[in-house]
Amino acid sequence: MKRKNKRLSMISAAFLAICAAMALILAAFEDNIVFFYSPTEIINNELQANQRLRLGGLVEEGSVQRATGSPIITFNVTDLITTVPITFKGILPDLFREGQGIVAEGNFRGGKFFATEVLAKHDENYMPKEIAEALKKSGKWKGAENALPQTK
């Protein structure tokens, strides 16, 4: 019986370890999931100022402005219904372009989005999935029900 007891204690130890690991993973999920919003949603949702989120849409034509002599860049992102101004410090990704879909990560305070990161796809030819969906939600997208992002 002694061996059986030992076995039991090992199994329960393993079980406890799995529970601990699960708790760890769940806690990490709780804190670190970033939700994606379209410009219209971000305006209409109650958001905490320090909540990290992603905002996606098209960069409005002619809205990109660089503060001369400083690395601060501002531009507007739109889903063709709502436009949200974004402030970003740094070098924009290689594929950033006006009229192009981008995703920005950061937080939203007082009607402005402060981006810590701006993502554009490695491939310029296609619309990222989230952005196509944001445009669809805004009702401006009249195309295929499901847009497929194509990347390479």
What whole-number distance in Å separates Cα of residue 41 and Cα of residue 50?
Answer: 17
Longest dimension (CA), the chain: 80
Tell which one of 43, 47, 63, 80 touches other proteins (CB under 8 A). 80
Q: x/- site string to other proteins, residues 109 to 128, per CB under 8 A?
A: ----------x-xxxxxxxx
Tokens matching residue 50: 């320090």
What per-residue string of b and e applies to 9-37 under the rule 16 or more CB within 10 Å gives b? Answer: eeeeeeeeeeeeeeeeeeeeeeeeeeebb
Quote the least distance from Cβ 47 to other proteins, whole Å: 14
Tell which one of 28, 44, 48, 109 touches other proteins (CB under 8 A). 28
Terminal Cα-to-Cα distance of the chain (whole angstroms): 61
Quote the least distance from Cβ 12 to other proteins, whole Å: 12
Confirm or reject binding of residue 1 to other proteins (CB under 8 A).
Answer: no
Tell which one of 5, 46, 49, 143 touches other proteins (CB under 8 A). 143
Judged by beta carbon, residue 28 or residue 44, the one nearer other proteins is 28
Q: x/- site string to other proteins, residues 31 to 70, per CB under 8 A?
A: xxxxxx-----------------x---x--x----x-xxx
Nearest to 71 by CA among 55, 88, 59: 88
